[in-house]
Amino acid sequence: MSKVVILDHPLIAHKVTHIRKKTTNTKEFRETVSEIGGLMAFEISRDFPLQDVNVETPMCMHVGKELSKQVIIVPILRAGLGMVEGILNLIPTSKVGHIGIYRDEETLEPKEYFAKLPTNLDEALILVVDPMLATGGSASAAITVLKKRGAKDIRFIGLVGVDEGIKKLQSDHPDVDIYLACKDAVLNEHGYIEPGLGDCGDRLFGTK
């Protein structure tokens, strides 16, 4: 069974509270989601594998360390895009793949409409990012797409999740660890998280 890690860092908690406020405007919402993405990446990368590398300092030769696996960030469009820049700031050598999925408003079933991914997924460390883990349908579908293309080492990073989404992801993909900034109490009858953030894609891109 995968592990579920809630990153209860004070700075993350402070920033999540800021984006929960309905008065937070699009600019601040977008900037803060990106910042939280970066803070989460710092915490999550603690166990990233390293390899030895020989470097020449101004003084002598030295055996240092470098990341041994290519990191690939895969945002689920649209809202996952909001977390990419913050993670790239910390891990600038990352590649970025995109998977487009939206929820059918009636059934809440995920509908895939786009996938453009780097090659060699089988050797990479893949971070699937989406701020919202609600029913878990979108995240699970995105991970299925990645596995069909050979991905093996996958982690899911979200801002706000609920038990329903966590259970779905653990049941469909028991090998994928789940990292969240916080866990909320309620998934309402419309498939929205409460207290949540509202519609994260719309708030990021100002579409409502």
- The contact set with ligand URA (CB under 6 A) reads 79, 132, 134, 191-193, 196, 199-201
Asked if 172 is an active-site residue, the reply is no
- Shortest CA distance to 137 belongs to which of 187, 86, 172, 92? 172
How far apart are CB 87 and ligand URA at their closest, in Å? 19
Q: CB burial class (10 A; 0-12, 13-18, 19+) of residue 38?
A: middle
- Shortest CA distance to 83 belongs to which of 51, 44, 123, 110? 44
- Shortest CA distance to 140 belongs to which of 118, 163, 109, 117? 109
Asked if 119 is an active-site residue, the reply is no
Q: Which does 192 bind (CB under 5 to 8 A by kind): ligand URA, ligand PRP, none?
A: ligand URA
Q: Which does 33 bind (CB under 5 to 8 A by kind): ligand URA, ligand PRP, none?
A: none
Question: Of 8, 122, 175, 202, which is the active-site residue?
Answer: 202
How far apart are CB 109 and ligand PRP at their closest, in Å? 9
Question: How far is it, in rounded angstroms, from Cα 58 to Cα 71?
Answer: 29
Residue number, 109 or 122, with CB nearest to ligand URA: 109
How far apart are CB 42 and ligand PRP at their closest, in Å? 22
Tokens of 16: 């999540």
| φ, ψ (nearest 5 deg) of residue 196 | 60, -160
Point out which residues bind ligand PRP (CB under 6 A): 76-79, 101-103, 108, 110, 130, 132-139, 165, 191, 199-201
Question: How far is it, in rounded angstroms, from Cα 187 to Cα 163?
Answer: 8
Asked if 107 is an active-site residue, the reply is yes
Cβ atoms 34, 41 nearer than 8 A: no
How far apart are CB 54 and ligand URA at their closest, in Å? 47
Q: Which does 136 bind (CB under 5 to 8 A by kind): ligand URA, ligand PRP, none?
A: ligand PRP
17 three-class SS: helix
Asked if 199 is an active-site residue, the reply is yes
Q: Which DSSP state fits 160?
A: E
Active site amino acids:
103, 107, 199, 202
